[in-house]
């Protein structure tokens, strides 16, 4: 559900950038005061895992569409909402800058849609209400699935409203809404099941991580090495190998746009900023669409080259997000210590 710049007017993009910047600043202050050393490596490795997981599009049977995990709810469950939002922002920023996944004007909206609703709505008001402070496996599974469904529905609704207020006439409000919400219901169900699976693994390996986060307590002396190693291995496997088998069907957003407008892409509004930002993104995106660039005059990549490119993109992107997450944690922790 990564929006392209063509779906937003400059005014709507600026509003969403402002909202996201405010939430980011607020989250950074909260993390600066609350972050413990044990969560710093988790921020990096979980961010890398979410990056890799988002590379795998899964088909939605009977629709011709596909979806991918958002991951922000999982981050909120394991890191708390504020660190989760910052980690999600780093994932989406790396995707936009280095892989041309989502536009730069739309980056504020994408972070808001995929980060704010799971972290600050679905997690505290759905997941935590279901699980409470006395956790059980059944509560964790139910909370993960229901909160993932709601979080993604809110994100899909936000996309529709943002295009409406941007004046995108090719996507009438009612028609677009009737496509976006049902298809993202199916995607949300898969995300909920996947989130429940990872949370169940953590519950088996180190239930203290979930218990302390549920009670807003620091991880203190909780051993996390095995969890970090397991998540790193899962990241390498997912981004380096499983991403080869991602569905090539359009994702829920592209599918909905095509159903309404007749094409999966909308022409950009006649605004200079769209062209300028597109030019910047072309220069920063080292591996557009998570693959090697196709050389001019060639007929594209062979199957082996395409798979090698996917593996390189998964490892490269996951590595950047990991370093960025750890660095962000250390910087915020250091600023708190020196304050």
At 190-225, the pLDDT tens digits run 999 999 999 999 999 999 999 999 888 888 888 999
pLDDT of residue 285: 94
- 22 domain-assigned: no
Maximum C-alpha span of the chain: 62
* Distance between CA atoms of residues 47 and 317, nearest Å: 10
- 282 domain-assigned: yes
Average pLDDT, the chain: 93
The label of the residue with tokens 């922000």 reads 72
Give residue 9's region: left, alpha or beta (phi > 0; psi -120 to 50): beta
- 30 domain-assigned: no
- 28 domain-assigned: no
- 29 domain-assigned: no
* Distance between CA atoms of residues 38 and 35, nearest Å: 8
Q: Which residue has the higher pLDDT, 303 or 51?
A: 51
Q: Domain span at residue 130?
A: 5-14+35-334
Average pLDDT score over residue span 93-120 = 97
Number of domains composing the chain: 1
> Phi and psi at residue 121, in whole multiples of 5°?
-120, -65
CATH number at residue 329: 1.10.1760.20
* Distance between CA atoms of residues 22 and 194, nearest Å: 30
DSSP per-residue letters across 254-316: HHHHHHHHSSSS-PPPS-HHHHHHHHHHHHH-SSGGGSPPPPTTS----HHHHHHHHHHHHHH
pLDDT band at 283 (very low <50, low <70, confident <90, very high): very high
Burial class of residue 119 in the structure, from the number of CB atoms within 10 Å of its CB (0-12 exposed, 13-18 middle, 19+ buried): buried
pLDDT of residue 300: 76
pLDDT of residue 219: 86
- 80 domain-assigned: yes
pLDDT of residue 298: 67
pTM of the model: 0.96
pLDDT greater than 80 at residue 297: no
pLDDT band at 37 (very low <50, low <70, confident <90, very high): confident
- 199 domain-assigned: yes
pLDDT band at 303 (very low <50, low <70, confident <90, very high): confident
Average pLDDT score over residue span 247-272 = 90
pLDDT greater than 60 at residue 339: no
- 107 domain-assigned: yes
Chain Cα centroid distance, residue 224: 23
Average pLDDT score over residue span 287-314 = 86
pLDDT band at 320 (very low <50, low <70, confident <90, very high): very high
């Amino acid at each position: 559900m990564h929006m392209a710049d063509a779906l937003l007017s400059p005014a709507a993009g600026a509003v969403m950038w402002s909202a996201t910047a405010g939430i980011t600043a607020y989250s950074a202050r909260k993390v600066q005061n609350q972050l413990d050393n044990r969560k710093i490596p988790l921020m990096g490795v979980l961010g890398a895992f979410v990056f890799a997981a988002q590379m795998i599009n899964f088909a939605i049977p009977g629709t011709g569409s596909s979806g991918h995990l958002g991951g922000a709810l999982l981050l909120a469950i394991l890191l708390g909402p504020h660190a989760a939002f910052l980690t999600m922002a780093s994932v989406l920023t790396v995707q936009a800058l280095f892989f041309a996944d989502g536009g730069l004007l739309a980056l504020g909206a994408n972070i808001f849609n995929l980060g704010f609703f799971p972290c600050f709505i679905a997690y505290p008001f759905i997941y935590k209400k279901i699980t409470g402070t006395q956790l059980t496996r059944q509560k964790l599974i139910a909370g993960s699935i229901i909160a993932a469904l709601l979080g993604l529905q809110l994100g899909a609704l936000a996309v529709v409203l943002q295009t409406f207020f941007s004046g995108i006439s090719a996507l009438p409000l009612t028609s677009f809404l009737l496509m976006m919400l049902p298809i993202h219901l199916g995607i949300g169900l898969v995300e909920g099941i996947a989130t429940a699976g990872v949370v169940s693994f953590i519950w088996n390996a180190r239930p203290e991580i979930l218990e302390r986060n549920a009670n807003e307590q620091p991880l203190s002396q909780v051993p996390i090495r095995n969890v970090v190693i397991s998540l790193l291995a899962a990241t390498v496997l997912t981004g380096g190998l499983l991403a080869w088998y991602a569905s090539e069907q359009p994702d829920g957003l592209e599918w909905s746009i095509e159903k309404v407008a007749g094409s999966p892409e909308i022409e950009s509004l006649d605004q200079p900023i769209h062209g300028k930002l597109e030019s910047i993104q072309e220069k920063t995106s080292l591996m557009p669409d998570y693959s090697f660039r196709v050389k001019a005059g060639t007929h594209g990549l062979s199957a082996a080259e395409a798979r090698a490119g996917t593996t390189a993109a998964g490892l490269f992107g996951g590595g950047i997000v990991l370093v960025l997450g750890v660095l962000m944690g250390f910087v915020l922790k250091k600023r708190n210590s020196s304050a």
